[in-house]
Amino acid sequence: MAISDDVLVIGGGLAGAMAALAAAERDVRVRLVTYKQSTLRQASGLIDVLGYAPDGDGPLVDPFEALEGLPTGHPYERVGSEAVREALAFFDEVAGDAYVGDHTDANALVPTHGGTVKPTARYPTATAAGLASDNRDALLVGFETLPDFDGPLAASHLAAAGVPFDARGVTLSFPGIERDDAKVTRYAHLLERDEAVSVDDSAATVGARDALAESVDEHLEGEPRVGFPAILGDERADEVRTALGEGLGVDVFEVPMGPPSLPGMRLSDLLYDALEDAGVRVTSGVPVVDYEVDPRGSSDTPADPSAAKTSDDPARGRIDHVVVDRNGAEVPHRADQYVLATGGLVGKGVRSDREGVREPIFDCHVPHPEDRYDWFVDGVFGDQPYARFGLDVDRELRPLETDSRPTFSNLRAAGAVLGGYDFAAEKSGSGVSLATGYVAGRRASTAVIR
């Protein structure tokens, strides 16, 4: 028997979670299915709207000023700047005091583990004391067993970037950890549980938090703030950060790291807790492997009257149900509306081979040059065409065919599966996921109610 819901979201990243949460606000039955662990666990945890314009101009002070001039087909152009604001406000409600940045339209400049500064619209409270716009001097602390963050190197890069403060870096041994293959969660749990660790090669032990604070205190030279790699706890990270700050008498902040990312894991936990509270049914570890079209025909869903103009042409069809592989058994999942949020080329939501570029679940059209040599340009840092590969959508976020007709009347797409933008160059990936996920979820639930 088919499992039935009103809205089915396919994909468990930021776009999928936002789509499910937005749809669930309308008192409809929502299910989210995801094959792999959320990609949020590999993300920085920062919410970037637009750091650089498509022409490379930036870093942008006010991302909303640039949204109005984006080219036709860019995901932000599809949903409109007001929807971006609404999505951010919705995220702020979900995140609560875990994130800051809603006091201004301006981007904040957040130092990263490489010593660069990243323009971002929302950032974890744990990073707030480390903003590059703050003119207070900072000590950056790295650890011998954590090569992903080099404190002295990051400090020198910040100085070269022209930040308005003096940054100094040190490299210390981490109390209680001697191996350089320890997972970041091991550092976090050691501090979170305040485990007893040995000091000075003696039999004496002390709590990990005090041991770390004492080690860092020896290197302070009056700096009012200290930055650590983002390893300061998991479920009780605020408690760890507060304890270290009190022990050192300074403001403590975290520097976002590359994957695996504890800030990303915290964001994932935050969103999935919100999904549970909203009554969204989450089915994980199951891939969607097929679909069936409604044999009764298209039965096009009317466009949302509050949305901008959409495609005039009727859709080619309507999805009746998708097929999920559950441990070898094919289980049909039926819904009235569907949201595709499976990621782009990196997340395998868009796939390429010698035959071309395609979307693997619904075989939606992905615009791309026929000649594979036109997919890229020489130079690693060139403007690569493949970076913009993804689905072309109308203003209802319905994937379009080559003739600009929607593929299915009841399918919308959100996040990195969309084309028309280069999220890495623009520093816009999480913002696009947030905005398009929110819009796709809202319009899917509106279509159900109608």
Each residue's pLDDT tens digit, 11-22? 999 999 999 999
- Angle of helix 208-217 versus helix 237-248 axis, rounded to 10: 40
CATH entry 1.25.40 includes domain 113-255:
no
- Fold exhibited by the domain 3-97+265-449: FAD/NAD(P)-binding domain (3.50.50)
Q: Is 406 exposed, middle or buried (0-12, 13-18, 19+ CB in 10 A)?
A: buried
398 contacts: CB under 8 Å, gap ≥ 6: 310, 311, 315, 406, 407, 408, 409, 411, 412, 413
Residue 254 forms beta bridges with which residues? Answer: 228
The reply to whether 3-97+265-449 and 113-255 are identical in fold is no
Mean pLDDT of 155-184: 93
Each residue's pLDDT tens digit, 401-433? 999 999 999 999 999 999 999 999 999 999 999
pLDDT of residue 448: 96
**Sign of the C-alpha dihedral, residues 390, 396, 399, 400?**
negative
Domain boundary assignment for the chain: 3-97+265-449, 113-255
How many whole angstroms separate alpha carbon 135 and alpha carbon 288? 50
Q: Of 400 and 315, which is predicted with more confidence? A: 400
Each residue's pLDDT tens digit, 242-255? 999 999 999 999 99
Each residue's pLDDT tens digit, 133-162? 999 999 999 999 998 899 999 999 999 999
